[in-house]
Amino acid sequence: MEIFLWVVVVLLFLLSIAGIFLPVLPDTILLWGGFLLYHFFIADPGAGLPASFWWGMVVLSILLYGADLLTNMYFVKKYGGSKWSSIAAAAGIILGIFVFPPFGMLILPFVFVVLVELMVQKQSMERAVKAGVGSLIGFLGSAVVKVILQVTMIIWFFIAR
């Protein structure tokens, strides 16, 4: 039974990494599912994961949730986009998940940002495309940050257990 539970823990960890690129999978929740499964069903009673591990995971989980929003907003702004473009990029990511995943998460934010910059902000095509590129870099940047954070959390788990 313990081997089966370990397989489920590892599967949850792998699915959490996949959730970075397939946002319909709740990456952080899957990660926590693995931690909790180990703590309550695999670890020896009273010898589970230490409090420092749990506090660290709370902090890193908050960073995971903020990674998408903060990186996207940062890069759209850095590449000349407006506040409305940041909102359009977020909407594009969410809509892109459902329209044609996984490519919709890259294409729709770009298109939405360019359209907002052209139509709402009355920017030139060059500036609009530059802001759209910022949304792409933001998405890819957040994916890199999230992979680093999740791998750190998984390594910490194996060290702490």
Q: In angstroms, what CA-CA distances link 107 with 59, 73, 148?
A: 31, 17, 24
Nearest to 76 by CA among 86, 68, 67: 86
**Cβ atoms of residues 88 and 120 within 8 Å:** no
- Give the model's pLDDT for residue 7: 96
Q: In angstroms, what CA-CA distances link 89 with 37, 76, 84, 121?
A: 35, 8, 9, 15
Exposed, middle or buried by CB within 10 Å (0-12, 13-18, 19+), for 82?
Answer: middle
CA distance 52 to 33: 18
Quick: pLDDT tens for 36-49: 999 999 998 888 89
- Give the model's pLDDT for residue 148: 94
**Cβ atoms of residues 27 and 142 within 8 Å:** no
CA distance 81 to 61: 28
- Give the model's pLDDT for residue 13: 97
Quick: pLDDT tens for 100-122: 777 888 899 899 999 999 998 88
Exposed, middle or buried by CB within 10 Å (0-12, 13-18, 19+), for 4?
Answer: exposed
- Give the model's pLDDT for residue 121: 86
Nearest to 17 by CA among 159, 157, 161, 149: 149
Domain count within the chain: 1
- Give the model's pLDDT for residue 14: 96
Segments of the chain scoring below 50 in pLDDT = none
User: Domain span at residue 84?
Assistant: 2-160
CA distance 90 to 98: 13
CA distance 13 to 35: 9
Name the pTM for this structure.
0.79
- Give the model's pLDDT for residue 1: 86
